[in-house]
Structure 1
Amino acid sequence: MDGQKKIKITDEKVALVKAEHFCAYQERSQQETRDKLYEWGLYPDAVERVISELIQGNFLNEERFAKAYTKGKFAQKAWGRIKIKQGLKFKRVPDVLIKKALQTIDLDDYHATLIRIIEKKVATLTEKNELKRRYKLQQYAMGRGYEADLIADILKTSQL
């Protein structure tokens, strides 16, 4: 690890203060925070107490995290709902909160973003065969986390 010494924290109060800074810096999921506490060397019962304190102090809020993650990945990286959902599942966010967070994406923006990433990809393709071009566009958009039926609709209705 690039010359840095691993920090070991066994004092619960020190860990709580450090975890508060960790959570205040950017929205975190409970799992990310839990992993960080274990990385610092805290024991399981202490980790759960610190997590509980962070939730009570509103440093940790899974719903707020899910919405911020969704907004960020959609706005910054133009990810589709499928990829965002996978990312949230990986962070062990409950399904009900994932569903709620995904509903915050405006449908018009979602369609416009999908059209924009497809148009951007069209500009880079050299494929002459129409079917192969469409297939490549569909695969690209699916890789970005967009739904196959939505991609197909857009490819049918737009002149790409």
Structure 2
Amino acid sequence: MKLYDLHCDAMFVISCRYFKNKEEAKDMMQEGFLKAFLNLEHYKNGTNFSAWLKKIVINTCIDAIKKRKLDTVSLDDYPLEISNDEDWNFDTRISKSSILEAIAALPQKYQLVIKLYLLEGYDHQEISEILKIPVKTSRTQLRRAKLLLKDNLKTENYGT
């Protein structure tokens, strides 16, 4: 119970990144804890318990989203375009909640990649393993998500 009390708030915040409905986020957080507690024998001493638990909660959320028949399309056949991030000049008054709302408005496949990359700090190799997509697809979806996010924020008159 002490482990739960110590980590539940942080894991709930993580679950809320993937589910708008607070009850659904709470269910996913609790399911993640249940998976962690049932698999404590797989926890390696010396590693950060919070990081291990966070990965389980994130994977639980993603698995639930996938069960909703999230269709990912391999982008191997699409040409890559190099994006210049220098044109990401936004009004510094834009709030964190506005950015998170704009991310939530993205198509689900872009939301997952951008959240895993920008919010959770995973690299493309880790994202490809979590989502079971090629690394190239992860990179392309992130680029497209950033472009769409940028356009959405400019549409909302946040851009300069």
Larger Rg: 1
Normalised by the size of structure 2, how large is the TM-score?
0.28
Normalised by the size of structure 1, how large is the TM-score?
0.28
